[in-house]
A = this chain, B = another copy of it.
Amino acid sequence: MNEGREGTDRSPAYGERPAETGLPVTVPSTALFTDQYELTMLQAALRAGTAERRSAFEVFTRRLPEGRRYGVVAGTGRVLDAVENFRFDDQMLDFLRENGVVDGPTLEWLADYRFSGDILGYPEGEVYFPGSPLMRVEGTFAECVLLETVILSILNHDSAVAAAASRMSVAAGGRPLIEMGARRTHELAAVAASRAAYVGGFDTTSDLAAGFRYGIPTVGTSAHSFTLLHDTERGAFTAQVDSLGSGTTLLVDTYDVEEAVRTAVDVAGPGLGAVRIDSGDLLLLAHRVRQQLDDLGADKTRIVVTSDLDEYAIASLAAAPVDAYGVGTQLVTGSGHPTCSMVYKLVARADSDERDAPMRPVAKRSMGGKTSLGGAKWAARPPDAAGVAEAEVVGSGPVPPELADHLLQVELVKDGTVVGREPLDAVRERHKAVMGRLPMSAMQLSRGEPVLPTEHR
Contacts and interface: CB of A to CB of B under 8 A. Distances in A.
Interface of A: 2, 4-5, 15, 18-25, 27-41, 43-48, 50, 53, 55, 57, 82, 89-92, 95-96, 98-101, 103, 141, 145, 148-150, 152-154, 156-158, 180, 182-193, 206-209, 211-212, 218-226, 228-231, 235, 238-240, 242-244, 253-257, 278-281, 285, 307, 329, 332-333, 338-339, 341, 344-346, 349, 352, 362-370
A44 B182 contact: no
A18 B23 CA distance: 10
B141 A156 contact: no
A188 B37 CA distance: 19
Counted per complex, copies of this chain come to 2
**Chain B CB within 10 Å — which of A152, A186, A329, A344 has the most?**
A186
23 contacts: A22-B29, A32-B208, A32-B209, A36-B206, A40-B222, A43-B243, A45-B226, A50-B229, A55-B225, A82-B187, A95-B212, A99-B211, A99-B218, A101-B218, A103-B243, A141-B229, A150-B187, A153-B186, A157-B187, A185-B186, A228-B346, A253-B368, A280-B367
A14 to B, nearest CB: 10
A149 B243 contact: no
Contacts of A368: 253, 279-281, 285
Contacts of A244: 40, 43-44
B182 A35 contact: yes
Contacts of A253: 364, 366, 368
Contacts of A362: 228-229
From A157, A208, A209, residue with most partner B Cβ within 10 Å: A208
Nearest to A35: B206
A226 B89 CA distance: 26
A215 to B, nearest CB: 9
B27 A182 contact: no
Given A37-B220, A101-B218, A156-B184, 12 more contacts: A18-B18, A21-B29, A36-B211, A36-B219, A44-B243, A95-B212, A149-B207, A153-B187, A157-B185, A157-B189, A158-B186, A224-B345
B2 A221 contact: no
A47 B243 contact: yes
Question: Could you say which of A34, A92, A103, A229 has the most chain B C-beta atoms within 10 Å of its C-beta?
Answer: A229
Sorted nearest first, the 8 A-B pairs with minimum C-beta distance are A280-B368, A36-B220, A37-B220, A48-B239, A22-B91, A186-B189, A152-B183, A225-B346
